[in-house]
């Protein structure tokens, strides 16, 4: 009993830990794939662009369906949606253990796993809100948020260690085991009923999928050398435009909408969600091109690649914790400094690339960029959601999460596609202008590039041209090395441009009043 004679509700520590474990799996999953790219390519005899496309597709599916996933949880029950989301992730993890080709990864890990995430994230937030109260609720939100931050920080190291000394498949097997433990404790979860509007905006749902899906799918098709790229991206852009028109028109007629367009009447929400989008583009672009570069240029194994990019994730984790508690400056100013540090850190890598002979050359720039990302993580969610009322915060958090997931998938797809397209163009152009290679050899180089060069290390290339003269071998290796430098430098322009746009967006934030934190907004660390 407390001093007022009211019985104090006992804290359900077991449930809190299980929820944190579920969030850990969600976050560490992509890190494991990023640092294991070369191992997956080798084991499945596939391409870098194919694996990178699967990673982007998983984030895209999560983004495209997260708003629908939240509504599905309202209709079928948040507890059931939580269970189905965990099962979707488990299917994806188990499929990775036994996958023999890229098709299995795309279907089970990227698509079914992405659907699982879209069900799991909104349901988890509702279940925390309904199973805990007051200080206990804040404690669980902090625990789950900390679990996500720790997963982001240690993911590259953990994934690299497991992949190098065991197998990338073991990492996904461990994910399945953790999910099984979480599901075993499902009896501790009390369902949270939904009493709002139960009608479904099917047209809005379809347009959101077509819009976001079309843009990123078009980029992935371009990356794979497919046709109709402009048409696919155009369909996506038109879909997004029609979604805006549909939501506004349906709102005027008093009909249920996929999301309330009135959310975007708040300038703070618009600028905050835009900042979330740009932050994730910068993060996704950086986290896809660096592991590819480290594994294909320096021929690093997964552990070495994980250690090389760990300064980014570890500094992001530490600064996010410190900034969330200790900084007293205006949130818009902190966000501005965050984007500025991201630009400075990533831009500093560009001139280092040609002279670096190991991943440790990237340490200081990655720490700077990680500090910037940490500042953004500490502020953006609360800034975006603080002007939203408690009864609408779940819907707003879904929009914020969708913006972040879409930004991540776009950054992954676009930066990866730019890197591989630049590699192909530069390699071919350098071969054609070479005075050492004969026309027949130039044609042979172009043919080999089309089939294999995107995964070709210098060691692999040496084996391929072993029958050529020493002069020709040296020329082809020089072209391969120079092309990879240029490809990474051009690809890094994606996160740099996202950071610059973030700076401009933050300057707009500075002209707005500071947000006033609400209890509901504090409980949105899951986004």
Q: How far apart are CA 505 and CA 335, in angstroms?
A: 9
Q: Is the pLDDT of residue 75 over 90?
A: no
Q: What is the DSSP string of 488-511?
A: HHHHTHHHHHHHHHHHHHHHHHHT
For the chain, the first-to-last Cα distance in angstroms comes to 35
Candidates 30, 132, 130, 115; CA nearest to 81 is 115
Q: Which bin fits 201, alpha (ψ -120 to 50), beta or left (φ > 0)?
A: beta
Number of neighbours of residue 200 by Cβ within 10 angstroms? 15
Per-residue pLDDT tens digits for 27-65: 888 778 877 877 888 888 887 778 877 887 887 788 778
Per-residue CA distances from 70 to 131, 193, 212, 403 (Å): 17, 13, 17, 14
Residue 196 has pLDDT above 90, yes or no: no
Global pTM value: 0.80
- The distance between the two most distant Cα atoms of the chain, rounded to a whole number of Å, is 91
Helix (H, G, I), strand (E, B) or coil at 148: helix
Is pLDDT above 80 for 164?
A: yes
Rounded distance between C-alpha atoms, residue 514 and residue 268, angstroms: 9
Confidence at residue 3, expressed as pLDDT on a 0 to 100 scale: 46
**Mean pLDDT, all residues of the chain:** 80
Tokens of 80: 């059931």
Specify the pLDDT at position 36.
81
> Among 361, 388, 372, which Cα is nearest to 518's?
388
Residue whose C-alpha is closest to residue 524's, from 154, 132, 141? 141
CA 146-390-130 angle, 5° bins = 60
Residue 523 — very low, low, confident or very high, per pLDDT cuts 50/70/90? very low
């Amino acid at each position: 009993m407390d001093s007022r004679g009211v019985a104090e509700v006992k804290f359900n520590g077991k449930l809190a830990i299980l929820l944190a474990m579920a969030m850990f799996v969600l976050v560490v999953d992509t890190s494991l794939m990023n640092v294991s790219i070369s191992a997956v390519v080798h084991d499945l005899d596939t391409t870098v662009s194919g694996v990178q496309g699967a990673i982007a597709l998983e984030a895209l599916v999560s983004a495209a369906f997260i708003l629908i996933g939240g509504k599905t949880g309202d209709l079928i029950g948040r507890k059931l949606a939580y269970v189905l989301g965990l099962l979707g992730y488990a299917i994806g993890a188990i499929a990775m253990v036994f996958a023999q080709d890229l098709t299995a990864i795309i279907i089970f890990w990227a698509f079914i796993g992405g659907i699982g995430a879209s069900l799991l994230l909104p349901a988890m937030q509702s279940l925390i809100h309904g199973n805990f109260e007051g200080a206990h609720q804040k404690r669980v939100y902090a625990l789950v948020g900390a679990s996500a931050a720790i997963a982001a920080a240690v993911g590259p190291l953990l994934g690299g260690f497991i992949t190098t000394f065991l197998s990338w498949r073991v990492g996904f097997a461990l994910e399945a085991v953790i999910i099984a433990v979480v599901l075993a404790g499902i009896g501790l979860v009390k369902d949270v009923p939904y009493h709002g509007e139960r009608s479904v905006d099917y047209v809005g749902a379809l347009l959101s999928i077509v819009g976001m899906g079309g843009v990123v799918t078009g980029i992935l098709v371009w990356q794979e050398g497919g046709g109709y790229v402009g048409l696919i991206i155009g369909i996506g852009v038109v879909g997004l435009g029609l979604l805006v028109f549909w939501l506004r028109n349906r709102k005027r007629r008093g009909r249920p909408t996929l999301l309330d367009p009135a959310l975007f009447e708040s300038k703070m929400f618009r600028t905050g969600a835009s900042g979330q989008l740009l932050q994730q583009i910068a993060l996704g672009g950086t986290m896809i091109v660096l592991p590819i570069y480290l594994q294909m240029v320096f021929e690093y194994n997964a552990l070495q690649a994980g250690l090389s990019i760990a300064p980014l994730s570890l500094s992001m984790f530490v600064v996010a914790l410190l900034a969330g508690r200790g900084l007293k400056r205006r949130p818009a100013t902190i966000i501005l400094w965050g984007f500025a540090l991201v630009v400075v850190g990533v831009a500093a890598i560009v001139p280092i690339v040609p002279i670096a002979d190991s991943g440790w050359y990237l340490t200081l720039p990655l720490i700077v960029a990680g500090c910037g990302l940490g500042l953004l993580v500490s502020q953006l969610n609360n800034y975006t959601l603080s002007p939203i009322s408690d009864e609408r915060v779940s819907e707003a958090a879904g929009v914020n999460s969708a913006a972040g997931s879409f930004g991540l998938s776009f950054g992954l797809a676009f930066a990866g596609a730019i890197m591989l397209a630049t590699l192909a163009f530069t390699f071919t152009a350098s071969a054609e202008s070479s005075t050492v290679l004969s026309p027949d050899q130039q044609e042979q180089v172009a043919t080999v590039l089309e089939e294999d060069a995107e995964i070709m290390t210098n060691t692999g290339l040496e084996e391929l041209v072993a029958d050529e003269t020493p002069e020709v071998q040296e020329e082809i290796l020089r072209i391969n090395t120079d092309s990879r430098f240029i490809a990474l430098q051009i690809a890094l322009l994606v996160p740099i441009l996202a950071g610059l746009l973030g700076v401009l967006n933050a300057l707009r934030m500075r002209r707005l009043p500071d947000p006033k934190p609400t209890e509901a907004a504090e409980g949105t660390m899951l986004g």
